[in-house]
Structure 1
């Protein structure tokens, strides 16, 4: 039985995706840390809770393809700083729902401007709007297929 193997173009695409993501994540993280005292991961969690109020930890873990334990610890840190609050889940006593506090809402609103400005600065100097849209469609399609097939979820 023949097996598929990645050609050189796929290997380069993988390398470029990973290295671009890392560099963008780090550069945006530096700006968020300097301007707001938060890490990129904290901003992403806050933005998620802004856009999905009353989410379960499992929902967040599924969105970020991360382990429930790691997400729970991240939420613990946000809660300790007063940016989110956990509430009992009326549909399931074993889980809680997480929502932004007013302080978290103010922080994510302020940080959102920094995030968007820095992202535009990093990406639009070298990419035309049409390239951003085309790349976005391709990556959204790939992400959708990976999520549909439950590829890359943490083990355990």
Structure 2
């Protein structure tokens, strides 16, 4: 049987190195941190979204998400509007500038991932890895013992 602690260490180190490589490339080529890219990707997939929904998806606190949205808004990449259904929250939507930088940065992210993952694993292995990670993520997100910081 695989040593689970070694597997965990490999998974965490891989994620850290992938994140750092993508972040560095996005900053260098688009002046866009990876965290902002991920938020823009999430926002773009919806007509509007709440900060709470973003926090749930990213598994971070509402406060940290709100600060990230502040930075995106200051850069003109998203905007908040009053939520007509709930005065306590606002709705976040992507701006044309946010959509443009997301469109420009997406091929960069895909190229970097092809280099770091696609060039190393076969299509079948990537498909199996994707399925396995999806299963593990779903389990983690549904486990009542999982810390819900948001």
Calculate the TM-score normalised by the size of structure 2.
0.95
Which of these residues, 105, 120, 129, is aligned with residue 135 of structure 1? 129
Which aligned pairs between 1:78-93 and structure 2 lie closer than 5 A? 78-93=72-87
How far residue 14 of structure 1 moved from its aligned partner, in angstroms, is 0.5
Distance in 1 separating the partners of 2:17 and 2:32: 17
1:114 aligns with 2:128: no
1:40 aligns with 2:34: yes
Calculate the TM-score normalised by the size of structure 1.
0.91
Q: Which structure 1 segments of 5+ residues have no match?
A: 1-6
Provide runs of 4+ in structure 1 moved above 6 Å. none
Q: Which has the larger radius of gyration?
A: 1
Residues paired across the two proteins, number: 149
- SS of equivalent to 1:87: strand
Distance in 1 separating the partners of 2:32 and 2:142: 32
Q: Which structure 2 segments of 5+ residues have no match?
A: none
How far residue 69 of structure 1 moved from its aligned partner, in angstroms, is 0.3
RMSD of aligned C-alpha atoms?
Answer: 1.3
